[in-house]
Amino acid sequence: MRGVVFYDPEQEKQNSNRTITIFDTTLRDGEQTPGVTIPFDKKIEIASQLDKLGVDAIEAGFPISSPGDKESVKRIAELGLHADVCGLARSVIKDIDACIDCDVDMVHVFIPTSDVQREYTIKKTREEALNTAVEMVEYIKSHGFKCMFSPMDATRTDFDYLVEIIKAVKAAGCDIVNVPDTVGVMVPSSTYELICNLKKNADIKYDIHCHNDFGLANANSITAVEAGADQVQVTVNGIGERAGNASLAEVVMALTSIYGFKTNINTEYLTETSKMVEKYSGIKMPPMMPVCGDNAFSHESGIHSQGVLAKSDTFEPGVMTPEMVGQKRRIVLGKHAGRHAVLQNLEAVGIRPTEDQLNEILTKIKEIGDRGKTVTDADLFVVASVVLGKK
Ligand code: KIV
Ligand code: ZN
């Protein structure tokens, strides 16, 4: 056991027998973030990085949406990655053909199934939408491709109709069904119930795709896995439409470090990947972003700094260390700084103040912090040399 005392150890043992696959849609749903266009060569770099990270599938784009998207999906499919490369398609033949032209491994085909989306977007009856979905899945399978089907807006779709369409696409040869919470209206308890009931009524592999409109995308994705979903769709840094998608790093670390599930992710590359996507998407992440944010393993207050310097688990989760995710622990000096933190930073460069000198340095550090400044190493060394310089 890894010591998360609030989580059921028996359940954790069972979880450790399940490997949850990670479907990354940074280059498709992530690129749908308003105002984001990732340049062609950067998409290729991101795809290679995602492969190094160990994701199981990469949704490389929506080939019919633009010639540029089609070109990049094609190039990514040619890279010979370990991950499956997937292209998105509406339930129309020309979209699927565009994916096939790119020679992807998998086609992800979707059709709106909630009444509101079906009536106001594709203007088809329930029966017409079901028949179209079946035809599309049969078409994809007849060309020898893996097929993922998404009943779009599944979480606002009439349950009986949802089961009917899933059973129909399963019979048509569909490999996996994605359950999109397209407008992010689920909560963990409703997600749990939905996935359990779907599994009971239509037995197929399930994937979950959560949007973050109420800030619940990560929690809902994790709960879907607890309920039996086999795969999660995520984006790096949680970028995506409106409030974004579930975040790869946060979902993976919670699934593995708290619940004890297995994934194929090489977690030590999470921060490197996050920084790359931050740079190429132009979407700056807040320092307090969990896992990969600059403050995720930073400590300023004297009590916390002294604690983690003595034993890191005191003020960190313990089951997730900075090294596990490619981060470093930082002791930040500011108005909350304590003696241990200042002394450690000084001793690290061979400066050994007396008790009185240390007290004086600490007072000056707190004065700088009170002026609203973070104390940089340069500030500390200027202060230390002034204090140590006077006799
Ligand atoms: O949010 C959504 O419903 C989607 C689908 C294309 C799966 O992104
Ligand atoms: Zn989406």
- For atom 2 of ligand 1, the residue with the nearest CA is 182
**Separation of alpha carbons 201 and 207, rounded Å:** 16
Half-sphere exposure of 50 (CA within 13 A, CB side): 30
- Pocket-forming residues, ligand 1, beta carbon under 6 Å: 29, 110, 150, 152, 178, 180, 182, 209, 211
Q: Which atom of ligand 1 is nearest to the CA of 150?
A: 7
pTM of the model: 0.94
Phi, psi torsion values for 8, nearest 5 degrees: -60, 115
Name the token pair of 347.
């001793």
Nearest to 208 by CA among 225, 190, 193: 225
Q: What is the pLDDT of residues 327-343, one digit of tens each?
A: 999 888 888 888 988 99
**Separation of alpha carbons 64 and 67, rounded Å:** 7
Residue identified by tokens 């977690």 is 267
Q: What is the pLDDT of residues 2-11, one digit of tens each?
A: 657 677 889 9
Instruction: Supply the ipTM of this predicted assembly.
Output: 0.99
Q: So what's the pLDDT on residue 306?
A: 85
Phi, psi torsion values for 23, nearest 5 degrees: -105, 115
Q: So what's the pLDDT on residue 298?
A: 93
CA of 156 to the centre of ligand 1 (A): 13
Q: So what's the pLDDT on residue 11?
A: 92
Greatest alpha-carbon span in the chain:
89
**Separation of alpha carbons 149 and 91, rounded Å:** 10
Count other Cβ atoms within 10 Å, centred on residue 318.
14
Average pLDDT across each block of 10 residues of the chain; the chain has 391 residues. List them in order: 72 95 98 95 98 98 97 98 98 98 98 97 97 98 98 98 98 98 98 98 98 98 98 98 98 97 98 98 97 95 86 93 96 88 89 95 92 85 90 49
Q: So what's the pLDDT on residue 5?
A: 66
